[in-house]
Chain A
Amino acid sequence: MTWKLEGERLPAPLADLGRRAPQALHGLGDRELVRTLESADAVTIVGSRHPSAYGLRVAGELAYELASAGVVVVSGMAIGIDAAAHRGALEAGGRTVAVLGCGPDVVYPRRERALHARIADAGAIVAEYEPGTPAAPHQFPERNRIMAALGGVVVVVEAKDPSGSLITAHDAIHLGRTVAAVPGPVGVAASAGTNRLIKDGAEVARDSRDVLDLLFGVGASEPLGAYDPRPRGPRLGPLQARVLDAVGSGRAGPDQVAVALSVTPREAAVALAQLELMGYVEVDGAGAYARTPLAEPDSS
């Protein structure tokens, strides 16, 4: 079930690692996808294991749209941003490659068992470790260099400072890859690393168009620019639209929405319940609201 690529058959981008290149890659799933992988049409998406609802949404959307445009989405299958990126790519029916810090057939983290199976089915899972190798802490920073090498652009969605995602970004810089970061709110730990990357000169990734421009050159991806695969929801009333906007910009609870929009908590609660019924927002067990991929009918 597992296969092995070595020597000449290793994907070309790994050659840029020089002496740090892995001896071999062990894999599961689509072997040809990995063997013929070019960094010119692959994007690596990495980020925090403690993402915010905002980070998860952005990671999923980026991956969905990049995969829809034919780009291979590379990530590390960690809980959080990585998993959201793989899921986004799979939902688009696109191609995705997971690079693990254990044997390719070892499911780590274990709660991502279903995702592991889906990636093995529709994409590929690779590791420099023999099948059956258990996860060990030092192997995760090691695999970061492989993730950094495979993508032509490395997008960091959310990262603390310091963090493993920043290590991947630095690996990518040394390999001459383009590093882009998704800007986040100032003062939130999950965005401290990404905002610093931007301050230090990384590219800014606001959406998939920004990433496609970095990968293919500005405007080269024009036909895809108009492509918005997100489903459209019903038309919104003025207060509903304002509440949805507030949730989208990270005001996650009814009280925060009420304060931001100067409406009563009751009005905010009713609007949130309506938006939930229409499918625009979801609420987690702690009562925090987040936007779903559903888009407004008249947005561009």
Chain B
Amino acid sequence: MRSRSRRSILPPLSDDEALEAARIASAVGAPVEPVALGRRRPFRAPHHTISTAGLVGGGVPPRPGEATIAHRGVLFLDELPEFNRDALEALRQPLEAGRVLIARARHRVELPCRFQLVAAANPCPCGRGASSGDCTCPPQAVARYEAKLTGALSDRLDLAIAVEQPDLTALADERPEDSATVRERVIAARERQEARNGGRANAEVPSESIVLGPGLQRLLADRGGALGLSGRGRARVIRVARTIADLDGAEEVGEEHLLEALHLRRRHER
């Protein structure tokens, strides 16, 4: 549910983005109106049995895949470890480049695919979590599952959130923020980023251009190694910390922003 509500907190499509998304929708025969007039970002949730061509595009004549249809929107992969390994591998390069090249004997097309990847997975095959004490999976199955989770795309994921069983009594007396409120914060953060980065989001700027105070640089240098943070991981943590600071409306990245970013980092690198 959290993944599906994601679209409702994203900022609306800009004029240029809406035009791009409308052209793609029209090319694949999807409704054009929601993107062109409603400015709603595409949300695509292909089933895990999808083929490589279905995901990144292909065929003769070449057709756009889900990655392209999700351009400027969200591509949601539920049950990530169930997806075909080849299809996930094929997603790596387009994810980095924001474009996918489909080369066939007579055709050579390049399609845009700058989407936000959201993926969900159970902690183990039975879903209870291997360290919960209630897990019924054979240990070998858990190991295989973890290997699948840590391979494939996980090193391209910036945020990892453990979704715990909601405690019903806790939910009852807590009023979560509604999507509209969150969306306003997202839009404000986005505007702050674009003003600072010359129209670009934090994800699109080199991490070196993000200013960290000397204390935070030392913290990353001292402890980053102990946490098994690679160069790429370090760059990602810095971008995420900057974004959390933007959501807070903070001019500078503070220690708690950096710590929260470290907390959200995927733990596969160790």
Q: Which residues of A contact B (CB under 8 A)?
A: 49-56, 79-80, 109, 111, 158, 184-185, 188-191, 252-256, 259, 266, 269-270, 272-274, 276-277, 279, 283-288, 290
B137 to chain A, nearest CB (A): 7
**Chain A, Cβ-Cβ closest to B166:** A255
| B196 at the A interface (CB under 8 A) | no
With contacts A52-B131, A54-B133, A286-B130 taken as known, whether A256 is within 8 angstroms of B164 at the C-beta atoms is yes
9 pairs of A and B residues whose beta carbons are closest in the complex: A287-B162, A52-B133, A286-B123, A190-B133, A273-B259, A273-B263, A188-B133, A53-B131, A253-B164
A237 to chain B, nearest CB (A): 13
Interface string of B224-235 (1 = CB under 8 A from A): 001100000000
**Chain B, Cβ-Cβ closest to A283:** B267
CA distance A283 to B219 in the complex (A): 19
The answer to whether A50 touches B135 (Cβ under 8 A) is yes
15 additional A-B residue pairs with CB within 8 Å, beyond A51-B131, A52-B131, A266-B260: A50-B135, A50-B139, A52-B133, A54-B133, A188-B132, A188-B133, A253-B162, A259-B167, A277-B219, A284-B131, A285-B150, A286-B131, A286-B162, A287-B162, A288-B162
The answer to whether B133 touches A286 (Cβ under 8 A) is no
On chain B, the residues within 8 Å of A184 by CB distance are: 133
CA distance A56 to B256 in the complex (A): 31
CA distance A190 to B167 in the complex (A): 21
CA distance A290 to B256 in the complex (A): 21
The answer to whether A158 touches B162 (Cβ under 8 A) is no
**Chain B, Cβ-Cβ closest to A80:** B139
**Chain B, Cβ-Cβ closest to A253:** B164
| B178 at the A interface (CB under 8 A) | no
**Chain A, Cβ-Cβ closest to B145:** A285
**Chain B, Cβ-Cβ closest to A56:** B131
| B253 at the A interface (CB under 8 A) | no
The answer to whether B260 touches A269 (Cβ under 8 A) is yes
On chain B, the residues within 8 Å of A259 by CB distance are: 167, 170
The answer to whether A270 touches B164 (Cβ under 8 A) is no
**Chain B, Cβ-Cβ closest to A185:** B133
On chain A, the residues within 8 Å of B164 by CB distance are: 253, 255-256
On chain B, the residues within 8 Å of A284 by CB distance are: 130-131, 267
Which of B133, B140, B227 neighbours the largest number of chain A CB atoms within 10 Å of its CB?
B133
CA distance A185 to B133 in the complex (A): 10
Which of A51, A80, A158, A269 is within 8 Å of B263, CB to CB? A269
Query: How many chain-B residues does the 8 Å CB contact rule pick out?
Result: 36
B252 to chain A, nearest CB (A): 17
| B13 at the A interface (CB under 8 A) | no
The answer to whether B133 touches A109 (Cβ under 8 A) is no
Q: Which residues of B contact A (CB under 8 A)?
A: 123-124, 129-137, 139-140, 143, 146, 149-150, 160-162, 164, 166-167, 170, 219, 223, 226-227, 256, 259-260, 262-264, 267-268
The answer to whether A273 touches B133 (Cβ under 8 A) is no
On chain A, the residues within 8 Å of B131 by CB distance are: 51-53, 56, 252, 284, 286, 288, 290
Q: List 10 A-B contacts (CB under 8 A).
A: A50-B136, A158-B133, A253-B162, A254-B263, A259-B170, A269-B260, A270-B256, A273-B263, A285-B149, A285-B268
On chain B, the residues within 8 Å of A253 by CB distance are: 162, 164
The answer to whether A79 touches B139 (Cβ under 8 A) is yes
CA distance A121 to B202 in the complex (A): 53
CA distance A123 to B160 in the complex (A): 41
Which of A79, A255, A288 is within 8 Å of B129, CB to CB? A288
The answer to whether B134 touches A189 (Cβ under 8 A) is yes
CA distance A189 to B227 in the complex (A): 32
**Chain A, Cβ-Cβ closest to B123:** A286
CA distance A266 to B227 in the complex (A): 20
**Chain A, Cβ-Cβ closest to B266:** A285
Which of A53, A270, A276 is within 8 Å of B227, CB to CB? A276
**Chain B, Cβ-Cβ closest to A274:** B259
CA distance A53 to B129 in the complex (A): 11
With contacts A269-B263, A285-B267 taken as known, whether A109 is within 8 angstroms of B132 at the C-beta atoms is no
**Chain B, Cβ-Cβ closest to A250:** B133
On chain B, the residues within 8 Å of A158 by CB distance are: 133
With contacts A52-B133, A277-B223, A286-B124 taken as known, whether A109 is within 8 angstroms of B260 at the C-beta atoms is no
The answer to whether A50 touches B130 (Cβ under 8 A) is yes
On chain A, the residues within 8 Å of B143 by CB distance are: 111
A189 to chain B, nearest CB (A): 5
The answer to whether B123 touches A277 (Cβ under 8 A) is no
CA distance A284 to B263 in the complex (A): 12
On chain A, the residues within 8 Å of B135 by CB distance are: 50
A69 to chain B, nearest CB (A): 28
CA distance A195 to B129 in the complex (A): 21
On chain B, the residues within 8 Å of A52 by CB distance are: 131-133
